[in-house]
Structure 1
Amino acid sequence: MLINIQFIKTKGSEFLTQNVSKNLNKLSDKYDWLIKAEVYFKEENDPTGRSKICEIELSAPGPRIFASSTEESFELAIKKTIFELDQQLKKRKAVFVAH
């Protein structure tokens, strides 16, 4: 699976790149029909402290799969976004098996 990572309004980090790549590769091993992942890390001014945003869009057969989360740290945002993607991929796989 091809992984494209972009940092918007925030500094790039090798740790975040490796962390999200490792998690996406696990998803790719589990769901071998994934084609490409677009990952966006954003930082916004939020008075509540939840200013770190992770958005991931997966290209797969059928409509694209998208998940986003806003947390206190990028690590938590990655974890929550990957979990949401996994839930959507399970549903997609169930549809594939049904047909």
Structure 2
Amino acid sequence: MDTNFNYVHVSASERLEEFTKTKLDKLKDRYEFLISAEVFFKTENSTSKDKGRIAEIQLSVPGPRIFASSNEENFEIAVSKTINDLKTQLQKKKEKMQTH
């Protein structure tokens, strides 16, 4: 699966990319219809010190694209929560595809 990483007001991190790729590879193994992924890492200037690290992932699949985003205190937690949201959406899509 092709994975593109985009950084908005964040410096690139190979460790973060590897962490995200590992999580996405697990999704690819489970949902073979995945085509590609666009991953965005952003920082948000907020007054709250708890959050501000945003991970957005957009998956290309047959039909409409699937998107999820999380805003957490660090990128690893944001990626994990985003992946969990995507799993839910992918499971629904897989069930819908099986009924057709």
- Give the TM-score, by structure 1 length: 0.98
Deviations 1:16-51, CA, capped at 9 Å, x for gaps: 000000000110010011000000000011111211
Q: The residue matched to 1:70 in structure 2 has which SS?
A: strand
Shift of 1:75: 0.5
The amino acid that maps onto 1:95 is K
The amino acid that maps onto 2:41 is F
Q: The residue matched to 1:56 in structure 2 has which SS?
A: strand
Q: The residue matched to 1:46 in structure 2 has which SS?
A: coil
Structure 2: stretches of 5+ with no match in the other structure: none
**Paired positions, count:** 99
- Give the TM-score, by structure 2 length: 0.97
2:73 alignment counterpart: 72
2:52 alignment counterpart: 51
Deviations 1:72-93, CA, capped at 9 Å, x for gaps: 0000000000000000000000
For residues 41 and 7 of structure 2, the distance between their equivalents in structure 1, rounded to whole angstroms, comes to: 5
Deviations 1:56-79, CA, capped at 9 Å, x for gaps: 000000100000000000000000
For residues 83 and 48 of structure 1, the distance between their equivalents in structure 2, rounded to whole angstroms, comes to: 24
For residues 58 and 8 of structure 2, the distance between their equivalents in structure 1, rounded to whole angstroms, comes to: 15
1:10 alignment counterpart: 10
Shift of 1:96: 0.7
